[in-house]
Amino acid sequence: MIYLDNAATTKMSDKAVEEQLFWACSNFYNPSATYSQAVKVSFELSNARTRLKKLLGVKNGDIIFTSGATEANNLAIRGSERNGDWEYVFSSGEHASVYNLAKQLELEGKVVKYVPLVESGEIDITELEKALSTKTRVVSIIFVNNVTGAINNIKEISKIVRNKSPKAILHIDGVQAFCKIPFKLSELDVDLFSISAHKFHGPKGVGALYVKNKSSLKSIVYGGGQEFGIRSGTENVPGIMSMTVAAENIDIKSNYEKVKLLREKFEDAIRDDKIKLVSTQNGSPYILSLLFEGINGETLVRILENDIIVGRGSACSSKKAGNHVLQAMGYSAEQIKGAIRVSFDSSLTEEQVVYSAEKIKNDYLSLLEKLK
Ligand code: PMP
């Protein structure tokens, strides 16, 4: 079986599993307790924050551990809300954890602006400039789009936000970027940045929110005051330590080069007049979205599943009919019906991706033939 849905989740690395077991079984103490064994755990949690900041490429600020990026994204946006006449700016290509929260803010009567995407899937910068004002409180933008792999230019976005909305908090959903594409957070000038462990060979149900200035963030969960009083609840120590080790064991640059090559081989082998590549060469090599004319993508997923596993865009929204990201890029409902997302990992071989591309193409063409 060849797994090509690595944007949905990845297999845990051996080192990450080993680390998780150690903190679950040998060093299981509650980091908030006062005896020396527990204090040591608390000390290692602090170390993990520093280690993650190093990997993110930033010295200042803090790391708040969460149950994953859905929570980190919610904390970033909800935690930055303030009373008053404030506005919110999102792109139309946000992950469901931001997009559905944006819809909820609208229901609550807030002014919410959605910035359209350009044809290749990035945020429309001219429209972003128009949406921003001195009343903007929160801007939340995805770094690498989870459906298309389109990469937003965060440096440019942050310059524009700082200039037009000096009081705005800028949050970036960095889930599909961290440990995959090279960047230094200190160079991006953002306030908040979300990551999720299971996207980089760590465990599920654990993630983090980087916070430049924690005094600007309000708690959305009340309790024992863990995580600087911002995110109460006993920390998932095994998950956090495992996430940190998982990230430290990734060679971002060499994986990137390898995946880029694999993606090229895959694209060469799948090319056909009836298969449209949605993702462009400027995006993340890890994610490739394709539209298969005249079929339902779900049928193809099922035909392939015993041999090759592919996804349907975002795992979180794949059970729903439409896909707001592809819609925002201008694709019709009929085209979106035939959408498949292929997402790569550096552990794959050239033979595996070429075999998969050929098999996907052949299975698709015979399905199309049957439907005639
Ligand atoms: N943002 C993006 C871009 C994602 O791809 C995902 C995972 N599908 C999330 C947020 C949510 O992450 P988690 O599964 O950790 O809640």
For the chain, the domains span 2-9+251-370, 14-248
Of the candidates 24, 221, 309, 316, the residue annotated as catalytic is 316
pLDDT (0 to 100) of residue 212: 98
Q: Which pLDDT score is estimated for 321?
A: 41
pLDDT of residue 317: 52
Rounded Cα distance between 7 and 261, Å, is: 17
Which residues, other chains included, contact 80 with Cβ-Cβ below 8 Å and sequence gap of 6+? 137, 138, 169, 171, 191, 192, 216, 217, 218
pLDDT of residue 239: 98
Residues with CB under 6 Å of ligand 1 are 68-70, 73, 95, 97, 142, 146, 173, 175-176, 196, 207, 314-316
Q: How far apart are CA 105 and CA 7, in angstroms?
A: 27
Contacts of 332 (CB under 8 A, 6+ apart): none
Low pLDDT (below 70) residues in the chain: 314-322
Q: Is 25 a catalytic residue?
A: no
Q: Give the atom of ligand 1 at the shortest distance from the alpha carbon of 70.
A: 16
pLDDT confidence of residue 315: 47
Output the CATH code of domain 14-248: 3.40.640.10
For position 372, what pLDDT does the model report?
Answer: 85
CATH superfamily, domain 2-9+251-370, is: Aspartate Aminotransferase, domain 1 (3.90.1150.10)
* Ligand 1 mean position, distance from CA 291 (Å): 22
Q: What is the pLDDT of residue 320?
A: 57
Check residue 313 and give its pLDDT: 74
Task: Identify the sign of the CA torsion 324, 326, 328, 330.
Answer: negative
